[in-house]
Chains A and B, each alone.
Chain A
Amino acid sequence: TQLLEQSPQFLSIQEGENLTVYCNSSSVFSSLQWYRQEPGEGPVLLVTVVTGGEVKKLKRLTFQFGDARKDSSLHITAAQPGDTGLYLCAGARGSARQLTFGSGTQLTVLP
């Protein structure tokens, strides 16, 4: 059983469209991170959220941590081909070294 469920698993959209991907769990996390991974490379950290209800913005990306700290969403406005990649959420419970990854959302933005 996957501790963190990400949806959708695959998403293909046209340049300029908006999209939201989700990360859900039945467990409470002390913090949650989002990473982006491109083929042949390691994941790169985008953001860390730690407070229930927290919203963070990174240019066209908006990250939200659920009030109960069990879920998170990533919204991308006016997607660009450079946004293409595997988006991974990762939750920390207890000790910060206990980081569990979801299975990811593979995003493709078509020009």
Chain B
Amino acid sequence: DTGVSQNPRHKITKRGQNVTFRCDPISEHNRLYWYRQTLGQGPEFLTYFQNEAQLEKSRLLSDRFSAERPKGSFSTLEIQRTEQGDSAMYLCASSAGERGRSTERHFGDGTRLSIL
């Protein structure tokens, strides 16, 4: 299977702890996105990379959140000092990113974060 892979699938942690999630995109895709989805809602955009450059961040992404894509391949999303409101599904998506065409996101199955 060469789809988008996310690890771990589930993470349960106590409030105040730090967590890190990993996303491995489809190998030939240069664009990578992080989204957050809560129950009964659609995904909300968090941040976007083109290759290794982080080109856009949502206002939803507080200073406790940081994302990296150091070599333009896999990406990590870290949340520091977690709060109960951070409980959600964190989705990663990748796309080929052709100029002038709408890009179709390929999503991973997400990491479900539960804060106790």
Contacts and interface: CB of A to CB of B under 8 A. Distances in A.
Contacts of A48: 102, 104
Given A42-B93, A43-B43, A48-B102, A97 B56 contact: yes
Interface stretch (A11-19, A56-64, A67-75, A101-109): A101-109
A96 B4 CA distance: 20
Interface residues of A, number: 26
Nearest to B108: A42
B69 interface: no
B17 to A, nearest CB: 23
B109 A97 contact: no
B91 A103 contact: no
B79 to A, nearest CB: 19
A103 B39 CA distance: 10
Contact of A42 (B55, B101, B102, B109): B109
Interface of B: 4, 31, 33, 35, 40-45, 48, 55-56, 91, 93, 97, 101-110, 112
Interface of A: 4, 9, 30-31, 33, 35, 40-45, 48, 50, 88, 90, 92, 96-97, 99-104, 106
